[in-house]
Chains A and B, each alone.
Chain A
Amino acid sequence: MSSENSTLVKLNNAGFKQNDKWLVEGVSLTVKKGKIVTLIGPNGSGKSTTAKIALGIYKNIEGSVEKYTNKVGYVPQKISIDWTLPLRVYDFMLLTENIKDEAIDEALTLTGVIHLKNKNLGNLSGGEFQRVLIARAISKKPELLVLDEPVQGVDYTGEIALYELIKRISDTLNCGILLISHDLHTVMTATDHVVCLNGHVCCSGTPMDVAKNNEYKTLFGEQASQILSVYEHKHDHVHSDKGEIKKN
């Protein structure tokens, strides 16, 4: 497979301006099949905006987006659903595509919420709803998954299980994932490519590259950089030149 064929979405120097204020600018990144690209950065750094640019939700953008797939699953960071709608979890699973019952059951089982299938969506807890959102996104067997803080509100053990699930889905479906997360610990173990945002791309590369970057250190502090390096070390067994990091 040539590299061009495996590209799912590509941002070329993309940016978005709202009310004369840049939410994010100059972002270039590529999500390929089977790869996980993670966006990190402080609040208001343009992570969700970048995801929405990649998804084509924002129309009047600077730069360009090339999207090579229409099979997209999206877990938004904030979702405001009008609860005047009578909507069961089952109806919600069918929202954007008619999916077979088996696929719905499978996805709900994977995220651990199959027992809520016939419950009203408005009666779920935050964590339960988040699991339903993930189930809905993966049940479509998408080629591109965009996950904007997908495990918010999920309990700690669930969080780990869900990240493992996301990694597994990326492997079995061979789909590309654009992930946004604050949780450096969990994310870095699975990520192929990290883009650190702060209104623009402040640095990008493998988790290790990013951890070494000085701009990243100023944004997240020395400790965050140690977290990344520790993980990189643990998994690749590459000894960094920063000996003191290992001790932590």
Chain B
Amino acid sequence: MFDDFFIRALIAGLGIALVTGPLGCFVVWRRLSYFGDTLAHSALLGVTLAYSFELNIALSVFIISSLIALILIQLQKKTNLPGDALLGLLAHSSLAVGLVVIGFLTFIRFDIMGLLFGDILAVTTDDLLIIWTGGAVILLVLKLIWKPLFASTVNYELAEAEGLNPDRAKAIFTILMAAVIAISIKMVGLLLITGMLIIPAAMARNISNSPQKMVLFSIIGGLLSVLLGLFSSLEFNTSSGPSIIMAALVLFILSLLNIKQSIKLKN
């Protein structure tokens, strides 16, 4: 019924949505959307390095993103610049370096649009393996650090005082962010990954009253966005990334209607 590439894209997309759902909730709760953007922008550099040295793209992106996160932490300690300025500095300079490196790699044909906005044709069977095993590891680690991470998201001092080691949880979460970007870059594209993290979680926030429900709805929203997005991408011949994000946006708008109704009920 469908071509192989489309089945692969579906399996990849659903795997990614399972991971971005819960991680996206923490991105919203901890106000990390710009941090996610910075990591995603630096991913371009990771991709160019992967091509230059014939490395696996996901691995190379993971390493570069983690490195950028480390540099950010060091800069925060050593300078007096505000966090958003540092994030902007890293995001745009790593994007610029990535683009310049691409300019030098004239012997390789690059699909820049595919890198920026995702390309379902590019998903291989190997990618599926990386997405699903990588995704399973990310979710497992997130489950292990859930308690300290969530507690310190609510209140850092309570978590610290009651012996939960929030600093370690935060460091591990940063690595998970780099990992989720690494596994989803081919599919969603580096300009739109943060949207995949934030929009389903934001939609879920509108219709949930507990953290567990928000995570659940965020996952469901992500899965639906992937399904809707990929089918419309096939139908209208659009890029996969923007189509998925647009589907997520539609779900978000629907969740706003739900809010209006509940406000009416209250009055």
Contact A85:B160 (CB < 8 A) given known A79-B155, A80-B155, A120-B209 = no
- Say yes or no: is B224 at the interface (Cβ < 8 Å to chain A): no
Tell me the interface secondary structure of chain A in the complex: loop
Q: Give the residue of A52, A80, A97 whose beta carbon is less than 8 angstroms from that of B162.
A: A97
* Distance, CA A93 to CA B189, complexed state (A): 40
Dominant SS among interface residues on chain B: helix
B131-154 vs A, Cβ < 8 Å mask (1 yes, 0 no): 000000000000000010011011
Q: Which of B154, B208, B210, B212 has the most CB of A within 10 A?
A: B154
Contact of B51 with A by CB under 8 A: no
Whether B209 contacts A96 by the Cβ 8 Å rule is: no
* Chain A residues positioned under 8 Å from B228 (CB to CB): none
Chain B residues with CB under 8 Å of A140's CB are: 162
B154 contacts A86, CB within 8 Å? Answer: no
Q: Which of A67-75, A183-191, A198-206, A221-229 contacts B (4 or more CB under 8 A)?
A: A67-75
Chain B residue with minimal CB distance to A119? B209
Contact (Cβ within 8 A) A88 B155 = no
Partner-A contacts on B (CB < 8 A): 28-29, 147, 150-151, 153-155, 157-164, 205, 208-214
Report which A residues bind B (CB closer than 8 A). Answer: 52, 55-57, 70, 72-74, 76, 79-82, 84-88, 90-92, 95-97, 120, 140, 146
Identify 16 residue pairs between A and B in the complex whose beta-carbon atoms are under 8 Å apart, listed by A's number.
A52-B157, A55-B160, A57-B161, A72-B163, A74-B161, A85-B211, A86-B205, A86-B208, A86-B213, A91-B210, A95-B150, A95-B159, A96-B147, A96-B163, A140-B162, A146-B161
Instruction: Rank and list the top 9 A-B pairs by shortest CB-CB distance, nearest first.
Output: A55-B161, A74-B161, A96-B162, A70-B163, A95-B151, A57-B160, A86-B208, A96-B151, A72-B162
Beyond the given pairs A55-B160, A81-B154, 20 more chain A to chain B contacts, judged by CB atoms under 8 angstroms and listed by A's residue number, are A52-B161, A55-B157, A55-B161, A72-B161, A72-B162, A74-B162, A76-B157, A81-B155, A82-B153, A85-B29, A87-B154, A87-B210, A88-B209, A88-B210, A91-B210, A95-B155, A95-B159, A96-B151, A97-B162, A120-B209
